[in-house]
Structure 1
Amino acid sequence: MAGRVTVEDVARRAGVSTATVSRAVNGTARVAQETLDRVRAAIDELGFHPTPAAQNLRQQRTRNIALVVPTITNPFFPELVAGVTPEIARRGCSLLLISTGDPEVEAVRVAGSRLVDGVLLVGSMERTGATPRARHVEVPVVAFDRAPSTIRTTVVQCDNVAGARDVVAHLAELGHRDIAHLRGPRGLDVADQRARGHRRALLERGLDPRSGGELEGDFSEESGYAAALRLLDGRSRPTALFAANDMMAIGALAALRARGVRVPEDIAVAGFDGIRLGRYLHPTLTTYAQPIAAIAQRAVGLVLDAVDAQTTSTPGPGRRAPQVLTLPGDLVVGGSTSPAPS
């Protein structure tokens, strides 16, 4: 066709309205597959590709990646978003951030919307012991941090067992023998892994895992505050507390301060995650810092490799069977831990 090809030309060739062509090109609404195929064929025949959106349509790509998280009130997740964004941009894609109470349901919904090429997912708080409800997802999915309970996919996470073991070993090396554990919800993989690391560190040193006690929270600072109060009201008081995430540790610090308990002189406190906020507490928080940037970079690479493999129909990293990839973090010693009281 002579001259510059327009949207109107594509619409006439495909036998649809210009609005339908726009919706098909931009992915702003569902378009019937038969109609989408006609629009795509018209674009190819006429050579209409003046914009990235049109080129993506010809390649069956949107160049959008969704990141679905259960909350943005926990500072760990905004830091995860910050880790994801540069790698997404470097690969020429845009990020769609979704915060929802049921991330696995939302991941399935957005995957079927044709608005995204792939999904990065932080699994829900659903317990792994529950009966799985397998969900079909139409685009590649890679999970961070928590393993999904209803979607079978590759998971990239910190080595939670080794990290918790390092934290508790640090406390034991300071002379603490009664080390309580404020764990996350039972049945949640990351919570169970960190509880396993706590127990392993104590057993390796001939210490009784039951001596310090175990309390359960939900990873929020409110649950850490309430658990610390229960700990103080118990029959015996441990000399150290390992919280399964930094937010519960921060809540525990507030409760101890409210009761006049000194940290670390009376009770040492340590967390897990390495969120930035912990550096500005008084005392600063001892924690196990997750390698957030490395986890984000690895997960983004995996999901985009899977998108490329799906688009080109050629074998590649995206075709590998689901697996759990663990990356090591670092023990960061702050002012909240010190030798056990004599």
Structure 2
Amino acid sequence: MVSSKDVAKLAGVSQSTVSRVLNTPEKVRTDKYDKVVKAMEELNYRPNAIARSLVKKQTKSIALISGPIHNPFFAETTTSIVNYCKSKGYNTNVHFEVFGDNSSIIKDVSEMQVDGIILSSILMDDKIYYDLKALNIPFVMFNRKHNEPGNYFEMDNILAGQQVTEHLLEINHQDIVWIGGPLNMSTFHGRYEGFRLSMKAHGLTVGTNNTFITDTSEQGIRDVVKDLMSKRHRPTAIFAATDSIAIFILDFLLEKGYRVPEDVSLIGIDNTKLSQHHSVQLTTVGTEQCINLGQVAIETLIDQIETGKFELTQKTYSTKLFNRSTTRAI
């Protein structure tokens, strides 16, 4: 294999000059830089990534801890994050959440040695937050966040929950059911709170008869909706706390011969690309500017890694309703 010593010999410079060209090229005179680059090209030299990471104290690797891949929101954000990292010369180690406990993932990530962590899989009181802090590397949360202060990018989940509920109330629905995930996740907690506040403001109660907490899996959602639709008194509208949940519900309802929105109105949150598909046209709520939360989060993380400036960044984006085809007035 060609070594840096071979490059130095051909270029007529020292090995330390070759090292500076690879790691701090701005400190090398133009004539020497050109000689080294030319020698590398002639010898087809490829620097050893591990050796360079030891010199620069960087691995050029990012760990992504994402929510479940069955949710199109996480599929979209994972794609954006991986593509952006690649464009910046970083590898992405992708991990998908272990429902309710990511401690084993954090252990794996800490053993890999990465430059930073971006995660959408964290509970509001999650103990892994303190494990992340102990790693002493930058990390950014998106979509979900912890109760403790940290870098995060989210939508205004309470506002989103209120906008969904107000839309359904404005078109005369009162028998509204909320279907979501665990309330120790900031997304579901906020969206449920928005639902509760709006219902209360209109003199409507929220309880076990119209609130259903699931593991967000397709089977879990189907079980809840099957039970709901078998009752004599069915809801006129379903508030799905994510587009992913809404799409599982839509698929089940259509499979069983129900019409949406004629038999029941359906609305989600996230405004994923799938919700916009002409065959779906899901009424939903998303960020006003259609922000990709994973994209803005990874841009911030890499900027912090490369500049060494770890200023606290916290962003909550306002939301709006995208009124499509799955809700109707009654």
Give the TM-score normalised by the residue count of structure 2: 0.75
In the alignment, which residue of structure 2 is the partner of 1:29?
none
Pick from 172, 175, 180 the counterpart of residue 178 of structure 1.
175
Structure 1's 140 and 105: CA in aligned 2 closer, same or farther, altered over 3 A?
Answer: farther
Deviations 1:147-183 (A, max 9, x none): 258x973222221111121111111111112211112
CA positional deviation for 1:270: 0.7
CA positional deviation for 1:293: 4.6
Matched, 1:273 2:291: no
CA distance, structure 1, for counterparts of residue 283 and residue 171 of structure 2: 13
Matched, 1:94 2:91: yes
Structure 1's 243 and 98: CA in aligned 2 closer, same or farther, altered over 3 A?
Answer: same
In the alignment, which residue of structure 1 is the partner of 2:58?
61
Pick from 110, 114, 130 the counterpart of residue 134 of structure 1.
130
Pick from 305, 318, 325 the counterpart of residue 335 of structure 1.
325
SS class of match (2:92) = strand
Matched, 1:51 2:47: yes
Structure 1's 6 and 71: CA in aligned 2 closer, same or farther, altered over 3 A?
Answer: farther
Superposition map of 1:245-324 within 5 A: 245-280=242-277, 282=279, 284-290=281-287, 293-310=291-308, 316=309, 318-320=310-312, 324=314
CA positional deviation for 1:112: 4.1
In the alignment, which residue of structure 2 is the partner of 1:202?
199
In the alignment, which residue of structure 2 is the partner of 1:75?
72
Deviations 1:13-57 (A, max 9, x none): xxxxxxxxxxxxxxxxxxxxxxxxxxxxx9759846473835554
Structure 1's 265 and 297: CA in aligned 2 closer, same or farther, altered over 3 A?
Answer: same
In the alignment, which residue of structure 1 is the partner of 2:35?
none
In the alignment, which residue of structure 2 is the partner of 1:243?
240
RMSD, aligned CA: 3.4
**Displaced runs of 4 or more, over 6 A:** 130-133
Deviations 1:283-320 (A, max 9, x none): 5211123567542232123322332354xxxxx3x143
Whether the 8 Å CA contact 1:224–1:247 is kept in 2: the answer is no
SS class of match (2:269) = coil
Aligned length: 294
In the alignment, which residue of structure 2 is the partner of 1:225?
222
Structure 1's 90 and 264: CA in aligned 2 closer, same or farther, altered over 3 A?
Answer: same
User: Any gaps of 5 or more consecutive residues in structure 2?
Assistant: 23-45
CA positional deviation for 1:273: 1.8
Matched, 1:120 2:110: no
CA distance, structure 2, for counterparts of residue 95 and residue 129 of structure 1: 26
Whether the 8 Å CA contact 2:243–2:270 is kept in 1: the answer is yes
CA positional deviation for 1:240: 0.7
Structure 1's 131 and 51: CA in aligned 2 closer, same or farther, altered over 3 A?
Answer: closer
In the alignment, which residue of structure 2 is the partner of 1:214?
211
Corresponding letter in the other structure for 2:108: R
Corresponding letter in the other structure for 1:142: V
CA positional deviation for 1:338: 0.5
User: Any gaps of 5 or more consecutive residues in structure 1?
Assistant: 10-41, 311-315
CA distance, structure 2, for counterparts of residue 112 and residue 130 of structure 1: 20
